[in-house]
Amino acid sequence: MKYTKLITRCAGIWLMRDFAYKYDFFIKTLAVAVYDVLGPLIALFIYSATPGLPGWNFYQFLLFQGTLIIVFGLGRTFSASLAWWTLSAIYLGEFDQYLLKPYPTLLYLMALTVDHYGLVEVAVGTTVVTYSATQLGIPLLTISTLIYIFLIITAFFVHLGSNIIISSMGFLAVKSEALLQLYMNLMDFARYPLNVYGPGLRFFLTFLFPIAVTSFFPAQVLLKGAGIKMLAIAIIPVAIYFTISLLLWNTAMKKYRSAGG
């Protein structure tokens, strides 16, 4: 309850700040949308020049891309600036102020770093998914859709977890901007379906850095339905990944509060 209040307060504050420069606000909103449309546009060009990706026709791939955009959008709204914000607070020696507030530090930081532009992405992604699902004749009001939404929320925790890991590493090691850069590059592996990659990478993207759940598994659920085994493969690694991130955060906080940064 308090968290909802906080996060809306923050979003409101950022929105008002950005809105003070109206042109910039509208162009930025537009730019975010344009950036998202590039993926589907590239897909269209690839599919009109080639037979496309094995196992995926154009609309299926479009649905895949749309899913990716939704997840990126959620990640951006609620977690994408978390690591960056924390790292710069550590760098500037200004982290103490977050510990002085009577609220769980991680939740407070998440509220502070809310980014409303991510909602534009969620909207664009939803439109792309709805459009391609209609073209494919997939009914949208089924259990599969519920599972799809559930998997998308699961996928959000990969982004959140990654941000928490990078933030924690900022306390445990110096210069973890490197990890942030690495994470952003690794995220790009989610842009194409799992079956494109070799077996080693597939394993890595499913179990170790479970980014496959941010696009591949949810799209599969809508296209081919959900199986228990597939859901387990999609969800369990994320649960482990996220738990590890929280453990790491607690270690980091312990270290910070005993060593003073």
Residue written as token pair 């973890």? 176
Q: Is 21 one of the binding residues for another protein (CB under 8 A)?
A: yes
- Rounded (10°) CA dihedral 93, 97, 98, 103: 160
The least distance separating another protein from the CB of residue 25, rounded to whole angstroms, comes to 7
- Which residue lies nearer to another protein by CB, 127 or 177? 177
CA atoms of 260 and 258, how far apart (whole Å): 6
Residues binding another protein: number (CB under 8 A): 65
The H or E element that residue 129 is part of is: helix 117-136
Residue 129 vs residues 32, 122, 158, 163: alpha-carbon distances, Å: 17, 10, 21, 26
Report helix, strand and coil shares of the chain as percent, to nearest 5. 80, 0, 20
Which range in 90-98, 132-140, 149-157, 234-242 contacts another protein by CB under 8 A? 90-98
Compute the C-alpha angle 259/160/144, nearest 5°: 155
C-beta separation of 151 from 234 below 8 A: yes
Q: Is 247 one of the binding residues for another protein (CB under 8 A)?
A: no
Q: Is 191 one of the binding residues for another protein (CB under 8 A)?
A: yes
**Which parts of 37-66 interact with another protein (CB under 8 A)?**
38, 41-42, 45-46, 48-54
Q: Is 188 one of the binding residues for another protein (CB under 8 A)?
A: yes
Q: Is 208 one of the binding residues for another protein (CB under 8 A)?
A: no
Binding site for another protein (CB under 8 A): 2, 5-6, 9-10, 13, 17, 21, 23-32, 34-35, 38, 41-42, 45-46, 48-54, 93-94, 96-97, 99-104, 108, 112, 174-175, 177-178, 181-182, 185-186, 188-189, 191-192, 195-198, 201, 257-260
